[in-house]
Amino acid sequence: MKLRRKIFDIIQIGDKSNIVSRSFDFFIVIVIFSNIGAMFLETFDELEDYYSILKAIETVTTIVFCVEYVLRIVTADYLYPELGKVKSRLRFLISYDGVVDLLTILPAFFLTGFIVFRMLRVVRIFHLFRLNAQYDSFNVITSVLYDKKNQIISSLFIIIILMLASSLCMYSAEHNAQPEVFKNAFSGIWWAVSTILTVGYGDIYPVTFLGRVMAIIIAFLGVGVVAIPTGIISAGFVAQYTKTQSTTDYKALNIKDIVEIKVDNRFAGRTIIDIRENEGLDPYLVIRDSMSILPTEELKLVLGDVVIAKRKKRK
């Protein structure tokens, strides 16, 4: 039991306090890069004389992957302590990490034709950047995508509709002029994608006057439509960053410096920036009629507001 617990502590990524665990992380990084590097170098005909060395590197690193995979299965009950030994191991096998680990190993044995699976090894490298479970950068990305999933799905649905409509319109305008290029309504999908996404490869293009007019309109619509999910995600990152910064600031506060002020005639009508500059207070939250308000600089206080603030240290 103690040995398995030690193994679990070592192979779990992100434990900075454990030197052996950190060393294992760096070792795995080297193994991953060695494995992928050997795989890339094997594609160069000029390095044919070194194929045996590259194969040996790939074999050794794959063995390391296999050993790590088995160890993770054996210690899965520590990863999912609320489950039993059997259920915890089954849970790991069907988890994201377990599936990725398996897919990075299988090609070396009998899925040699599925070279694309080997590229999944690079996914493992992202596990090494977990700083902690709450505020790491990758978790911020995941949180933003999850919070904005409905808006993103809606915008992607609009893009798909525009893409299909563009393909159908271009087929109607260009089929007679270019029957070998626009054979059916779906043959314009490639052109629609490259145009709407503003890539414009130029391998397929309209030649009729009507087709070119529609292409101009579609290109303009594409710029605006593609910008929608970009704006949604950007706004989500700003909101998440602000939320994270606020939480970090609150954690650093000393409870002795926190004051609660009920707004009277002295503070009513004054802005937050005025309070900060002239009263030696740094407001963190304004409570108004059971509603919590983040204190922007231009926010004006009204009678009855409750302000949670920090006293600024006088120089």
Alpha carbon 66 to chain centroid distance?
27
Domain ranges of the chain: 2-130, 149-247, 254-311
Point out the least confidently predicted range of 55-59, 161-165, 187-191, 271-275. 187-191
Which three-class secondary structure string do you get for 74-102?
HCHHHHCCCCCHHHHHHHHHHCHHHHHHH
Token digits of residue 92: 């790991």
User: What mean pLDDT do residues 267-276 have?
Assistant: 85
String of DSSP letters for 261-293: EE--TTTTT-BHHHHHHHSSEEEEEEEETTEEE
For residue 62, pLDDT beyond 50? yes
Q: What is the CATH number of domain 254-311?
A: 3.30.70.1450
Token digits of residue 158: 């609009």
Token digits of residue 237: 């990152």
Cα separation, 92 vs 56, in Å, equals 30
Token digits of residue 98: 């377990």
Look at the domain 2-130 and name its fold: Four Helix Bundle (Hemerythrin (Met), subunit A) (1.20.120)
Kindly report, residue by residue over 166-209, the tens digit of the pLDDT: 888 888 888 889 888 888 877 788 888 888 877 777 778 889 99
Average pLDDT, the chain: 79
Let me know if the fold of 2-130 is the same as that of 254-311: no
Tally DSSP H helices, then E strands, for the chain. 12, 4
* Sign of the alpha-carbon dihedral angle for 75, 80, 84, 88: negative
Instruction: Please state, as a whole number, how many other Cβ atoms lie within 10 Å of the Cβ of residue 141.
Output: 14
pLDDT at 155: 86
Q: What is the CATH number of domain 149-247?
A: 1.10.287.70
For residue 282, pLDDT beyond 90? no
Q: Is 211 exposed, middle or buried (0-12, 13-18, 19+ CB in 10 A)?
A: buried
For residue 53, pLDDT beyond 90? yes
